[in-house]
Amino acid sequence: MFTNSIEVRDATLKDLNEIYAIEKESFPDPYPKPLLKAFFYHPGIYIVAVIGGEIVGYAIGIIRFRSLGHIISIAVRKESRGRGIGKKLLKELIKRLSAMGAKKIRIEVRESNEIAINLYKKFGFVTKEKIFGYYPDGEAALVMFIDLP
Ligand SMILES: CC(C)(COP(=O)(O)OP(=O)(O)OC[C@H]1O[C@@H](n2cnc3c(N)ncnc32)[C@H](O)[C@@H]1OP(=O)(O)O)[C@@H](O)C(=O)NCCC(=O)NCCS
């Protein structure tokens, strides 16, 4: 699969069921569907990655305090991972958050989630904090930040 066959576009409410399916298979503590729906009404960025008309990933980012970007979620369908879709979604999210005025972007990630940590490091995110017991099962979160030009 070639990364240029991946289209990244704004999500619409019609995509919600597929987004929720990806969420459920991606996280031990998935966001409930109503919360994923609520982000459509929150100012920010809600994008999906599409291959051949099928949604294979999604990402949500918002702006807090005018200049702090916050990545709420990013996930790729299990069977489509490792093909550059996460990179494409994250690149678009950073570009759009920057265009909305973000000077910094924050993300929390499980400390055991090496794949995601590698992805964020690749884009220049640096771990600045660790929050013990952040997740419902007690796992710690690394809080990673990137400064934007
Ligand atoms: C994290 C996630 C979004 C990455 O998406 P992806 O499409 O698989 O990632 P990509 O193919 O674009 O790879 C991006 C980078 O991630 C890292 N990566 C990907 N697969 C990896 C693996 N099996 N082992 C280690 N690092 C890996 C690499 O740094 C890779 O860059 P490279 O290909 O240039 O080496 C995806 O694994 C996922 O949905 N995971 C479950 C949900 C999740 O944990 N989200 C993050 C929450 S904070």
- Of 66, 54, 41, the C-alpha closest to 15 is 54
Query: Is the residue at 35 inside a domain?
Result: yes
Q: Which two structure tokens, joined as six digits, stand for 22?
A: 């990806």
Write the CATH number for 35. Answer: 3.40.630.30
**CB of residue 33 inside a 6 A radius of ligand 1:** no
Query: Is the residue at 127 inside a domain?
Result: no
Kindly report, residue by residue over 12-71, the tens digit of the pLDDT. 999 999 999 999 999 999 999 999 999 999 999 999 999 999 999 999 999 999 999 999
Give the burial class of 73: count Cβ atoms within 10 A of its Cβ; 0-12 exposed, 13-18 middle, 19 or more buried. buried
Query: Is the residue at 95 inside a domain?
Result: yes
SS3 146: strand
Could you tell me the pLDDT band of residue 149, with boundaries at 50, 70 and 90?
A: confident
Query: Is the residue at 116 inside a domain?
Result: no
| pTM for the full predicted model | 0.95
Query: Is the residue at 117 inside a domain?
Result: no
- 33 CA to middle of ligand 1, Å? 23
**CB of residue 24 inside a 6 A radius of ligand 1:** no
Total domain count, the chain: 1
Query: Is the residue at 64 inside a domain?
Result: yes
- 76 CA to middle of ligand 1, Å? 8
Query: Is the residue at 113 inside a domain?
Result: no
Range(s) of the domain holding residue 84: 3-107
Contact criterion met (CB below 8 Å) for 40 and 49: no
